[in-house]
Amino acid sequence: MATIFVPTPMRKLTDNQSKIQIQAATVYAAIDAANTLYPGFRERILDDAGEIKRFINIFVNGVDVRTLQGRATPLQDTDEMAVIPAMAGGA
């Protein structure tokens, strides 16, 4: 099963788990499967058209999926998928 690393702001959706195990063939399928287990997960990551929100970054094994196949990026059982919300602010 692939591992999804859950950012701190989203952990209230995953019962405070920092990582979850998901069986899925693609990034999109992993998000969908996580949403089945943890309702609200998908809407925090995908927009209304089903695309990754522009202020959300997803990395598979340290590589930004936008440089791969986006939400169609394949996942293997040993892959690690990190969901990273963009940060704003500063002086």
| Cα-to-chain-centroid distance, residue 28 | 8
* Domain ranges across the chain: 2-85
pLDDT digits (tens, 9 = 90+) for 19-47: 999 999 999 999 999 999 999 999 999 99
H or E stretch at 29: helix 27-37
Where does the pLDDT of residue 86 fall: very low under 50, low under 70, confident under 90, or very high at 90 and above? confident
84, two tokens: 């990273």
Q: Are 4 and 38 in contact (CB under 8 A)?
A: no
CATH assignment, 2-85: 3.10.20.30
